[in-house]
Amino acid sequence: AQSVTQLGSHVSVSEGALVLLRCNYSSSVPPYLFWYVQYPNQGLQLLLKYTSAATLVKGINGFEAEFKKSETSFHLTKPSAHMSDAAEYFCAVTYSSNSGYALNFGKGTSLLVTP
């Protein structure tokens, strides 16, 4: 099954600093990759997705991610962190067609933004 690994369960940045959340995937076929955000006591909300149209994907709230096949990576970045970015972030990949195209999620990275 296709899977993702998120490096770092907790990341802390200062307000205004660069946000970098790491995700590496394992897939035998070209993957479809997603980043979701979860605010406290809420469901998951899509930030962006990669479906092979373009390697640099722009999402909501100023986030973007670059698909790098040579590195099997799909890292999430934002140039300048805001306090409101504090949340849990999940990278995900489509399992496969025989799992109803469900998403296989990484374990998540908790982003803390300090003043």
Partner 1 sequence: NAGVTQTPKFRVLKTGQSMTLLCAQDMNHEYMYWYRQDPGMGLRLIHYSVGEGTTAKGEVPDGYNVSRLKKQNFLLGLESAAPSQTSVYFCASRIWENTGELFFGEGSRLTVL
% helix, strand, coil for the chain, step of 5: 10, 55, 35
Q: Closer CB to partner 1, residue 46 or residue 112? A: 46
Give yes or no for a contact between 35 and 65, defined as CB atoms under 8 angstroms apart: yes
Q: Which secondary structure element, helix H or strand E, spans residue 86, and what is its range?
A: none
Tokens of 103: 């998403």
Q: Closer CB to partner 1, residue 73 or residue 94? A: 94
**Listed residue (50, 13, 22) closest to 106, CA to CA:** 22
Compute the distance between CA of residue 44 and CA of residue 61 in angstroms, rounded to an integer: 15
Give yes or no for a contact between 106 and 24, defined as CB atoms under 8 angstroms apart: no
Judged by the rule CB under 8 A, the positions of this chain that interact with partner 1 are 9, 32, 34, 41-46, 49, 51, 90, 94-95, 97, 99-108
Q: Closer CB to partner 1, residue 82 or residue 101? A: 101
Q: Closer CB to partner 1, residue 10 or residue 115? A: 10
